[in-house]
């Protein structure tokens, strides 16, 4: 909680934008609860995409695009940041949803989606050099709970959530490869890391494939109370790290 308090103090003095859908709402609920527990007030306020940016510090958030249409999310994120050269926020980020690489999505190829993502984000960063754009991995789904899944794992069989998690993991691998050295909001890793520090994963093609830890969900995709708090703490820490890094790179003038 000492770390959470320190991170909240940093975030509460900055202007941050977070674009999301339902899992993002779960994270923000955890942020609000941590703010109360730590005794550090944090303004968490929803803003309209394309609307006027609010004044003052806060964690601003909004729904970007629609689920199953990842390109619309990227377009809305660009719209939130305004005209080229504007610096409405100190840090800005958005994340895809787990359904954006699932049956029904307009894009089923993680490689093609990442190519477009990297291109879009490079253009956004070039247009807004005063904004620190924080890249994010894609959330995951949990395996179905129960004896049937355990038996399938013993027999080397797949479950209903495996194929899409393989695709999400490939997108996340590409994101880590490109952005981890610059800082990454690794939502997938936060979701997969159990309270004891182990990582929820299954084996596919000789590789470990991360999945949402069952401890953190009640429906296989969204975060329960424990998941909200743990992912929110990691979310706040990563944003605070980005703000601290920016502050150390641009120390205040003493002249």
Per-residue pLDDT tens for 117-126?
999 999 999 9
**Percentage of residues of the chain with pLDDT beyond 70:** 96
Higher local confidence (pLDDT), 177 or 152: 177
Do the beta carbons of residue 34 and residue 47 sit within 8 Å? Answer: no
What pLDDT shows up at residue 234?
96
Rounded (10°) angle between helices 2-11 and 225-249: 60
| Confidence label for 62 from pLDDT (cuts 50, 70 and 90) | very high
What pLDDT shows up at residue 182?
85
Please name every residue paired with 232 in a beta bridge, in sequence order, or none if there are none: none
| Confidence label for 252 from pLDDT (cuts 50, 70 and 90) | very low
Strand 58-63, strand 132-136: pairing = unpaired
Residue 77 pLDDT greater than 50, yes or no: yes
Higher local confidence (pLDDT), 53 or 248: 53
pTM more than 0.75: yes
Residue 110 pLDDT greater than 90, yes or no: yes
Residue 251 pLDDT greater than 60, yes or no: no
Q: pLDDT digit string (tens) for 170-218?
A: 999 999 999 998 889 999 999 999 999 999 999 988 889 999 999 999 9
Q: What residue ranges do the domains of the chain occupy? A: 2-249
Average pLDDT over residues 59-87: 95
Residue 52 pLDDT greater than 50, yes or no: yes
Average pLDDT over residues 48-73: 93
Q: Which CATH architecture has domain 2-249?
A: 3-Layer(aba) Sandwich (3.40)
């Amino acid at each position: 909680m000492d770390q959470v308090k320190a991170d909240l103090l940093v975030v509460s003095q900055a202007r941050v934008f977070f674009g999301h859908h339902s899992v993002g709402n779960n994270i923000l609920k955890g942020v609000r609860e941590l703010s109360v527990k730590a005794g550090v007030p944090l303004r968490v306020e929803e803003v309209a995409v394309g609307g006027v940016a609010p004044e003052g510090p806060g964690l601003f958030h909004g729904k970007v695009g629609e689920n199953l249409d990842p390109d619309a999310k990227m377009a809305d994120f660009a719209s939130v940041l305004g005209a080229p050269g504007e610096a409405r926020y100190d840090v800005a980020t958005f994340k895809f949803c787990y359904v954006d690489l699932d049956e029904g999505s307009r894009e089923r190829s993680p490689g093609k989606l990442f190519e477009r993502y990297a291109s879009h984000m490079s253009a956004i960063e070039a247009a807004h050099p005063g904004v620190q754009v924080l890249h994010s991995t894609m959330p995951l789904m949990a395996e179905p709970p129960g004896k049937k899944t355990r038996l399938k794992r013993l027999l080397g069989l797949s479950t209903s959530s495996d194929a899409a998690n393989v695709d999400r993991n490939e997108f996340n691998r590409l994101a880590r490869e490109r952005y981890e050295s610059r800082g990454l909001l690794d939502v997938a890793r936060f979701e997969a890391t159990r309270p004891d520090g182990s990582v929820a994963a299954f084996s596919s093609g000789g590789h470990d494939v991360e999945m949402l830890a069952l401890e953190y969900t009640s429906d296989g995709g969204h975060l329960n109370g424990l998941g909200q708090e743990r992912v929110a703490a990691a979310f706040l820490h990563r944003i605070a790290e980005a703000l601290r890094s920016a502050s150390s790179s641009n120390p205040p003038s003493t002249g």
